[in-house]
Amino acid sequence: MALVRKRPGPALSDSSGALSDPRAALSSPDPEQRRAGAVMLMDVEDAKQLLAEHVAIEQDVVVREAMLTALVGCHDVAAARILATLLRGEDAALRNAVADTLGRMPAAGAIIEELLVDQDPDVRVMSVMLLRSLALPAVPQWLLEVVARDTDANVVGGALGELAEVGDATMISVLERAPARFPGDPFIAFSAAVAVARLRESI
């Protein structure tokens, strides 16, 4: 049994790997240092903007995930605004990860109305997607406004899908009018019918 060996003074008290400056570590050439920096800044509210800036330039997906995890629950509107710019990027994985994170940032509530009227329909689609997890009382009303006014079928289709989950019976008339705004679009007709049926069930 000698081969099951306890380290003399287990490495648990060893703090040699501790980061002295987690903010500076975010700019390290070593990805493990950058990841460790992000993890150490999880509870540092005034580092959120810096973290968001580094998400924008970070190429390593594991480091980026640590940075995004550190931003979940964040109340810093400036950080949310920086992240939101990434919804316009070419990297689909990054766009999805950012939308997922924004949906879990209370600060996103302060900018979501701007995002929902963005000129870029792809940004509006992602914004509807992040409403799924943004737990704010105004979410159903924001979605309803998208259904009533947006001109892009993908955006409206997404909003109809979400309203089927979070809407209520007072919204049915707006939903029923949606197919008329997209004549000949079977996707909108189908999504509206499903949402209306779901909301009727809840009466």
Partner 1 sequence: MSALPAVGPAEVTTAEFDRFREFFYRRTGIQFQPSKRYFVDKRILASILQAGAPDFRSWFAQLRLAGDDRLLQSVINSMTVNESYFFREDYQFDCLVNSVLPLLVAERRTAPIRILTLPSSTGDEAYSIAIWLLEHWPAIDQFDIEITGVDIDSQVVEFAKAGVFGERALQHVDSTLRARYFTVLGAGQYQVCAELRDAIAFTLANICEPLEMQRLRNFDVIFCRNLLIYFDELSSRRAAENLYGALRPGGYLFLGHSESMSRITPIFKPLRFPDSAAYQRPKERTR
Which residues contact partner 1 by CB under 8 A?
1-7, 10-15, 17-19, 31, 35-36, 39-40, 42-43, 59-62, 65-66, 69, 72-73, 104
Least distance (Å) from partner 1 to the CB of residue 83?
16
Least distance (Å) from partner 1 to the CB of residue 61?
5
* Burial bucket for residue 41 (CB in 10 Å: 0-12, 13-18, 19+): buried
Within its chain, how far is the Cα of 24 from the centroid? 26
Q: 2 or 92: whose CB is closer to partner 1?
A: 2
CA angle 178–189–140, rounded 5-degree value: 50
Least distance (Å) from partner 1 to the CB of residue 50?
16
Q: Please state, in angstroms and rounded to a whole number, the distance separating the CA atoms of residues 105 and 101.
A: 6
Least distance (Å) from partner 1 to the CB of residue 52?
17
Task: Name the phi and psi angles at 202, rounded to 5.
Answer: -85, -5
Contact between 48 and 74 under an 8 Å Cβ cutoff? The reply is yes
Q: 2 or 203: whose CB is closer to partner 1?
A: 2
Q: 65 or 122: whose CB is closer to partner 1?
A: 65
Contact between 159 and 146 under an 8 Å Cβ cutoff? The reply is yes
Residue with tokens 């089927």: 164
Q: 12 or 203: whose CB is closer to partner 1?
A: 12
